[in-house]
Structure 1
Amino acid sequence: MTPTPRVAMFSAQHYDIQSFKQHPLYEQIDLTSFETSLGPKTVSLCQNFDVLCAFVNDCLDNSILHQLSDQGVKHIALRCAGFNNVDTAAAKELGLAVSRVPAYSPEAVAEHALALIMTLNRKTHKAYNRVREGNFNLNGLLGFTLHNKKVGIVGTGHIGAALARLLTGFGCEIYCYDPYPDDALIKQGVVYTSLETLFKECHIISLHCPLNEQSHHLINAESLASMRDGVMLINTSRGGLIDTHAVIEALKKHKIGYLGLDVYEMESELFFRDHSSEIIQDDVFERLQTFHNVLITGHQGFFTAEALDQIAEVTLQNILALNNGTADDSRFVVLPD
């Protein structure tokens, strides 16, 4: 009989634990949860576990993976789609399996990107506060009509494609960049073009590509200079796609007219925790917060009931598939021989 896998879940919030416990497959694992993130100071907690269940900001570099392997961990089960925080070469060398959740409710993130666009444009967050104070003045709340605006989507995987479909309904002109064009989107009328053309032409640019060596700081001083004055920039993908210092300079010069972020390149020190009674030490983040045309949310794009259910289901399936010897390549970034 196959032994029950012992699973250590890091960066575990109440909602993560509940979504796992509510799934029928939960009874087939032995789960221990840790609210803390995984890093050099916490990796020692992984003694006597077979599986490490990690999230987007857990550290899984070469050193951590070697320590996990020495402690007997055999499987890194990511409960997210991205794996840029994992040293996959080291995992392969050590014989560690790495699984992920390739797509979980892509509409959830796409809808959040649309919410950032709509909120920044029509300033509903500011209007809400004004009306609560009895201020019905419209000065400073002027927006623009989305219909006929050119929107650039960088990356048309599941999430980018979902956003393209949503914005088509608004009557936007959709420009896309992706090394692998989606024929279904082309049939719906989107135009695939070069990054240079997309940056130059579009009023709104939304990022939906993975973070890797090629895409790191895709948005930088040079690419920003090529964009329209007053461009709206949205990032719900990974913080490292944007050079934050370059973006701050572009905001100061009015090159960026609107900035919506659900991710931040140094978010691991901030996001998913309550810092409301602390002095935040990240001066770059605090500078971003001073701009009236910047809207930041704390990596909540994925955060819907449906997405949490899918994350729990696929992660549990991945854990049990490897444990039972039935894993396949579709959800595994690294699958040992």
Structure 2
Amino acid sequence: MLRCAGYNSVDLATAEKLALCVANVPSYSPEAVAEFAVALLQTLNRKTHRAYNRVREGNFNLMGLLGKTLHGKTVGIIGTGKIGVAVAKILRGFGCRLLAYDPFPNTEFLVYGSYAPLEELLPQCQFVTLHCPLTDATRHIINAESLKLFQPGAMLINTSRGGLIDTQSVVAALKSKHLGGLALDVYEAEVNLFYRDHSDEIIQDDELMRMVTFPNVLICGHQAFFTEEALVEIAECTLRNVEDFMLRRSCPNSLVTEGHLLVRKDSLPVRM
């Protein structure tokens, strides 16, 4: 039983061969992740994390803290499932123009913005935020070629899956100053790093530690989901999955199977 939405870490083909049941929590408090994504966007944009550290040292200088007014800016949302739509609702309140890319358009998003092909969306956006699952089609959707389409100085936010971004290409775009800023709550090679205390160790991931030194990079440890409400929903859905599994043993038609992932009938496992 997975207590998360993503199941890219599970070998579903092997699970099928071993007759194992795999269940996830396809949706839990999308607002929690959406709010955190916008918090990262504004922290990166207005440099409040740097201002906080300065003031603690008695430095009230404003040099280097210049940001942009979010009102009137174009934000690209890649992935318009529950979280993407929740982000759109928030950013619409800021007065942003919203463009989205999703091979499976969601009519709920059309209240807040419009869809465009990725190659048309990226050049128009001052900010791009990722909210799609990690699949073969989306892996490294942000790469050397797609980064060339970004506006010079545009900022990128990822609270979805680390593998959506080609880290080497993003580092190169930051070093060339083509990418104006990067905020991550997920990281491509996070599996042996996140959720552990490494403060007494020398971290061997050179790319991650290089990014940490950049003044226009903000990295968190996969905490966007981490609210009281989300944890309650995760626990409740996990218990329902156990109940469904037990029910399936006595009534095989009580669940739907998408791929080899058991999901509830009211779930949308392919979108975040």
Q: Same fold (TM over 0.5)?
A: yes
Matched, 1:294 2:217: yes
Shift of 1:189: 3.6
Q: What residue in structure 2 maps to residue 86 of structure 1?
A: 10
Matched residue, 1:177: 101
Matched residue type, 2:135? N
Partner of 2:236 in structure 1?
Answer: 313
Q: Distance in 1 between matches of 2:115 and 2:30?
A: 20
CA deviation after TM superposition for structure 1 residue 94, in Å: 2.0
Q: Structure 2: how far apart are the matches of 1:110 and 1:93?
A: 37
1:274 aligns with 2:197: yes
CA displacement at 1:332 relative to structure 2: 8.8
Match of 2:268 in 1: none
Give the superposition deviation at 1:334. Answer: 2.7
2:183 to 260, 266, 281: 260
The structure having more radius of gyration, on CA atoms, is 1
Gaps (5+ residues) in structure 2? 264-272
Contact 2:85 2:108 in 1 (8 A): no
Which whole-Å CA distance do the structure 2 matches of 1:323 and 1:278 have between them?
Answer: 44
Give the 3-state SS of the residue equivalent to 2:58 in structure 1: coil
Once the two structures are TM-superposed, the CA of residue 331 in structure 1 deviates from its matched residue by 8.7
- CA-based RMSD of the aligned residues comes to 1.6
Structure 2 counterpart of 1:144, from 68, 71, 75: 68
- Larger mean CA deviation between 116-125 and 323-332 belongs to 323-332
Secondary structure, aligned partner of 2:100? strand
Q: How much identity, in percent, do the aligned residues show?
A: 58
Task: Answer yes or no: is the 8 Å Cα contact 1:261–1:297 preserved in 2.
Answer: yes
For 1:328, the equivalent position in structure 2 comes to: 255
Shift of residue 297, structure 1, vs aligned partner? 0.3
Q: Contact between 1:97 and 1:332, CA under 8 Å: does it hold in 2?
A: no
Provide the rounded CA distance (Å) in 2 between the counterparts of 1:332 and 1:103.
18
Question: Which runs of structure 2 are paired with 1:118-267 in the superposition (5 Å)?
Answer: 118-186=42-110, 188-267=111-190
Q: Is the 8 A contact 1:99 1:333 kept in 2?
A: no
Offset at 1:294?
0.1
SS at structure 2 position matched to 1:321: helix
Counterpart Cα distance in 1 of 2:212 and 2:164: 19
The letter of the residue matching 1:120 is: L
TM-superposed deviation, 1:90: 1.7
* 1:290 CA displacement: 1.2
Q: Deviations over 1:261-301 (max 9, x none)?
A: 00000000100000111111111111111110000000000
Name the CA shift for 1:305/1:128 in 2 (closer, same or farther; >3 Å). Answer: same
- Say if 1:100 and 1:332, in contact at 8 Å, map to a contact too: no
1:101 — aligned with what?
25
Q: Distance in 2 between matches of 1:91 and 1:331?
A: 14
Count of matched residue pairs: 259
Unaligned runs of 5+ in 1: 1-76
Aligned partner of 1:46 in structure 2 is none
Q: After superposition, what is the alpha-carbon deviation per residue over 1:194-235, rounded to whole angstroms, capped at 9, x for unaligned?
A: 011111111100011110111111111000011100110000
| Cα distance in 1, alignment partners of residues 261 and 208 from structure 2 | 34
For 2:209 and 2:101, the matched residues in 1 are separated by 32
Aligned-residue offset at 1:320: 2.2
Assess if the C-alpha contact under 8 Å between 2:16 and 2:260 holds in 1.
Answer: no
- Distance in 1, matches of 2:129 and 2:262, equals 32
Using the TM superposition, give the Cα deviation of residue 183 of structure 1 relative to its aligned residue in structure 2, in angstroms: 1.6
Letter in 1 for 2:255: D
Judged with a 3 Å threshold, the aligned counterparts in structure 2 of structure 1 residues 330 and 113 are, in CA distance, closer, same or farther, namely: farther
Would the aligned equivalents of 2:88 and 2:112 in 1 still touch at CA under 8 Å?
no
The one-character-per-residue Cα deviations of 1:123-177 (angstroms, maximum 9, x if unpaired) are 1111111112211111111110000100000000011110011000000000001
TM (norm. structure 2) is 0.92
Counterpart CA distance in 2 for 1:330 and 1:84 is 16
Contact residue 120 and residue 293 of structure 1 kept, 8 A: yes
For the residue of structure 2 that corresponds to 1:121, the secondary structure is helix
Could you state the TM-score of these two structures normalised by the residue count of structure 1?
0.74
Structure 2 counterpart of 1:304, which letter?
Answer: T
SS state at 2:22 partner: strand
